[in-house]
Structure 1
Amino acid sequence: MRLAGKRAFVTGGKQGIGRGIVEAFLAEGAAVTTCGRGPQPDDLPENAIWHTLDVSDPDAVAKIVWTIGGTDILVNNAGVQVEKTVVDSTDEDWNLVMGVNARGVFNCCRAFIPHMPSGSAIINIGSISGTVADPSMALYNASKAFVHGLTRSIAVDHGPDIRCNAICPGWIETGMLDAGFDLADDPARAKQDALARHAVRRFGKPADIAAMAVWLASDEAGFATGQLFTVDGGMTAASPLNPGLF
């Protein structure tokens, strides 16, 4: 029960990585509040509290902070993806992706930090895409690079009271992963090639990211702040050569 007695607020907890973090935090004893843009999902754990929230709306975020009265752990997980190059991206695409992935993280950090006690932790969900660009993901890649930079700034500006780190997942088994492979001329072959580039020979699962989030939220990570923790099954450790061919 590493998070017993702590309050946690997790954005984007309906499914995928966010849901994995919600469930892991509950199992470790935290009181968890989560949110999403739609109504409460039917399968939400009964001991988690749900709020419908668009994190890109600063007024709505400020209202949530006032409603719940602060938190000890903030996880900025909410994210969206648009599969386009720069020239194909529209103003609407910009507003959606940057609004949720970049401004949403900024909104939540700005609103919650004044109401987080000393010893609190912020965990931002970045991505390996913020460091190495996935094709046809221009806005998504850029939004995650913003998250990485903001993470470092918060750690520097608000330490020692608040620790702030980012988890940079690789390819995790969610709807976003399938959408990325659908861009390929041969999705099945692209997926096979991608698996060969993972040292662990599998894609990640939400639980893999949740395990890192639990550690970063706990007192065990008391000396970790301002860092980007890559959790990608060894994919970015390899050279461009496909290890499956050797």
Structure 2
Amino acid sequence: MTKLVDKVAIVTGGGRGIGRAIVDRLLNDGMKVMACGRGAEPDGFPDAAGWMQADVSCPDDVARIVTETISRFGPATLLVNNAGVQVEKTAADSSDDDWDLVIGVNCRGVFNMCRAVLPQMQDGGGNIINIGSISGVVSDPTMALYNASKAFVHSLTRSIAVDHGPAVRCNAILPGWIMTAMAEDGFALADDPEAAMADALARHPVGRFGQPEDIANMVSWLASDEAAYVSGQCFTVDGGMTAASPLQPGLF
């Protein structure tokens, strides 16, 4: 795989789960990484990476992220939009505050970050990777705003690829059940979380749930020149779960 040594990446939501795995992988690939999140720098965060406390839904914070990245490492050639939140409610139950939170981070935050880095990528070699979700294609129950927000991310990905190529490639990764705190919160919505988890596991042809490193591996490939002919695509990484019919394995 083409080395990414000394190239500069910004990773939003980089403090834990998928985001932290992406930070670790890109550092291992030789990149200079600036990560951000809404909280303080996490314990044990790698010294080699920069950390900023910032809210990507706020344009002023986004401007600070880009400026600080340039000051410390240089202009970013890779943006990974991983920051995301969820609210476990139906459309009827969702409040204006729920809308502002989910749409603010998951939609406006991705848009803000893309808009901020695109000007510095126009000379070529720019790469944006958005973390979407299978929930933007097949809706999870009681996750109306989250489902809708991820569909937005997928569509914005295609628009950026079309409007800003060839200077910029833009793709999305659609994780399935990746074992993070967010996934645990999703299973906790079930009447019987253990039964729900066992049922979900049975629907995975690969025989396991995903790990954050599975998504980080995909980010690494899309960031490399081996994916130079890949743009405007949404890659499902879910262990084959959404490829199957709803019939439970073993019944036939």
Query: TM-score scaled to structure 2, two decimals?
Result: 0.96
Distance 1:245 1:54 in 2: 47
Tell me the alpha carbon deviations over residues 169-216 of structure 1, each in whole angstroms, 9 at most, x when there is no partner.
000000111111111111111100000000011110000000000000
Tell me the alpha carbon deviations over residues 133-176 of structure 1, each in whole angstroms, 9 at most, x when there is no partner.
00000000000000000000000000000000000000000011
User: Percent of aligned positions with the same letter in both sequences?
Assistant: 66
Equivalent of 1:88 in 83, 93, 109: 93
Give the aligned partner of residue 132 of structure 1.
138
Letter paired with 2:134: I
Equivalent of 1:157 in 163, 182, 198: 163
Give the aligned partner of residue 23 of structure 2.
22
Gaps of 5+ in 1: none
1:165 and 1:227 in contact (8 A); partners too = yes
Runs of 4+ in 1 over 3 A off after TM superposition: none
Distance 2:35 2:194 in 1: 35
Gaps of 5+ in 2: none
1:8 and 1:30 in contact (8 A); partners too = yes
Give the aligned partner of residue 205 of structure 2.
199
Distance 1:2 1:24 in 2: 12
Distance 2:154 2:85 in 1: 16
Aligned length: 246
Give the aligned partner of residue 111 of structure 2.
106
Give the aligned partner of residue 121 of structure 1.
127
Secondary structure in 2 matching 1:87: coil
Letter paired with 2:235: F
- Aligned CA RMSD, in angstroms, stands at 0.9
Give the aligned partner of residue 246 of structure 2.
240
Distance 1:230 1:242 in 2: 21
Distance 2:129 2:24 in 1: 16
1:197 and 1:244 in contact (8 A); partners too = no
